Amino acid sequence: MRTRLLAAFLLVAAVSAGTTSALTYREARNSLLKTAQDTAVSTFREHVQQTGYGLPIQEEGLEELLRDLARKGKPRPWVVFAEYGSVRASSGENPVSTVITPELRRAARANPYGSFERVVKDGVPYLTIAMPTVFKTGPYSVLPSGLVLYAVMRMTDEQINVDALLMAARDGAVPGLAVALVPGLIAARSVLRPVRELRRAARNMGSGRLDTRIPVRGSDELAELAATFNESAAQLEDSVHELREAEARARRFASDVSHELRTPLAGMLAVTEVLDEDANRLDADTARAVRLVSAETGKLAVLVEDLMEISRFDARAAELNADEVDVAEAIRKTLQIRQWHDDDRVHAELPSGIRARLDPRRFDVVIANLVGNALRHGGAPVTVSLRTGERPAGTPVLITEVADRGPGIRPESIPYIFDRFYKADEARTRSAGSGLGLAITQENVRLHGGTIRAGNLPEGGAVFTVEIPLHAEETTV
């Protein structure tokens, strides 16, 4: 931007200097040439009118007359030519001039008061003047005598002066541009300094320093911009502060509620276990009610545990206790614990020999949530596959895929599938899970430094792909 401002400033200065120099040069040149031209024309006319001659014109005396006129030339020496019928004479060596044009001859015959013309011949400028001699026949009438006198004057001195003017204008414009560069730099600095401060302040705010402000100098548009930025930054800081306080209160509330519910839930679960054991001895309606209470109490217990887990992620208190594990063996253990290893609905494609640094407990949650979600909302068989790969940056990663053969995920639901309590099927108001399983899965994958994405297979069914670096570092989120 600094370069563009300087270029624009210099362009304006160059155009201004060039225009001024061109106008000055044109006026000075015209004035110089007009002065020499007017002097020569008026002098030549005056001398021609004062010269006496008799008719018919004799060539012998004509040359002496022309030399006399040439000696009186102003402001430069003349070469005088005469044309009278077929008679041609001059004050120089050649009786006929190659500088006098046919146009000037025609103008001389048409205008009894004379004409002039500037001509350039072989790079040399000339002033040519045609003055017909006349007899005065009345106060306002004249009669041409047929004799036309021409004065040819070199204008080399005037051309030298004109060239000197042009050089002076050019030489004056170049230092002028150099001088204009100094105020251009000062102006660019005064304009760019607030812009740089604004850029620095915006970068600081983007990095989280919401207390950043810009000094307000002067009362111009840039000062108004700085004041507006400060006002906006103050409002944003207040809004973010309020949002952070509200978020902290919400996290504390969820954590406190979950913590307070654990104790009564533990008692309720113990009671429902006893009731489940005696449900077969109760009448049908009572047994159905007992089993319903037991099932809903179990769901509530899962929801409370998931809420506490989510609150730990939100509070940045979740820790990753990574260890080098055999990934295939860890997945088999997850399936065995949940009685899925002998289930025809779950197929595992687990090549041996793949080892990675993982938190076994959190990786178990990831696999269990994905397989359980596929069994509940997808279609059997569910396939768990394992392989290794590389990211574009060359980082080796562990790739785990969980695919089902169900109807798949609606395309409009894919961007929100990992949101908390999101329901891909709006008609499904209740589910067997807490609605937080995929959100907890995503947080556990992120804790490993990995990514998870959802999609659909070409042949049908949903697929969840987890990529985790093979050498995850122990971190706290």
Which one-letter DSSP state was computed for residue 339? Answer: T
**Which of 221 and 419 is assigned the larger pLDDT?**
419
**Which of 51 and 330 is assigned the larger pLDDT?**
330
Which one-letter DSSP state was computed for residue 423? Answer: -
Phi then psi for 324, rounded to 5 degrees?
A: -80, 120
| Tokens matching residue 219 | 């009362």
Q: Phi-psi bin for 114: left (phi > 0), alpha (psi -120 to 50), beta?
A: left
pLDDT digits (tens, 9 = 90+) for 171-229: 666 666 666 666 666 666 666 677 777 778 888 888 888 888 888 877 777 788 888 88
Angle at 443 between CA 441 and CA 446, to 5 degrees: 110
Largest CA distance in the chain: 163
| CA 35 to each of CA 117, 159, 173, 471: distance values in angstroms, whole numbers, following the listed order | 14, 13, 27, 94
| Tokens matching residue 104 | 């000037």
Please state, in angstroms and rounded to a whole number, the distance separating the CA atoms of residues 317 and 305.
Answer: 15
Q: Say if CB 192 and CB 2 are below 8 A apart.
A: yes
- Give residue 18's pLDDT: 65
pLDDT digits (tens, 9 = 90+) for 445-465: 999 999 999 999 988 899 999
Instruction: Could you list the beta-strand ranges (E) of 359-434.
Output: 382-390, 396-403
**Which of 169 and 452 is assigned the larger pLDDT?**
452
- Give residue 172's pLDDT: 65
Please state, in angstroms and rounded to a whole number, the distance separating the CA atoms of residues 72 and 153.
Answer: 12
- Bridge pairing between strands 346-349 and 382-390: parallel
Q: Which of 57-66, 111-120, 170-179, 360-369 has the lowest mean pLDDT?
A: 170-179
Residues in the chain: 477
In what helix (H) or strand (E) does residue 109 lie, and over which residues does it extend? Answer: helix 102-110
Confidence of residue 466 (pLDDT cuts 50, 70, 90): very high
pLDDT digits (tens, 9 = 90+) for 433-444: 567 889 989 999
Report yes or no on whether pTM surpasses 0.95.
no
Which one-letter DSSP state was computed for residue 470? Answer: T
Confidence of residue 339 (pLDDT cuts 50, 70, 90): confident
Percent of the chain with pLDDT over 90: 18
Identity of residue 116: F
Question: Which among 370, 365, 371 has a CA at the least distance from the CA of 340?
Answer: 371
| Tokens matching residue 246 | 């509200």
**Residue 149 scores a pLDDT above 70:** yes
Please state, in angstroms and rounded to a whole number, the distance separating the CA atoms of residues 387 and 356.
Answer: 11
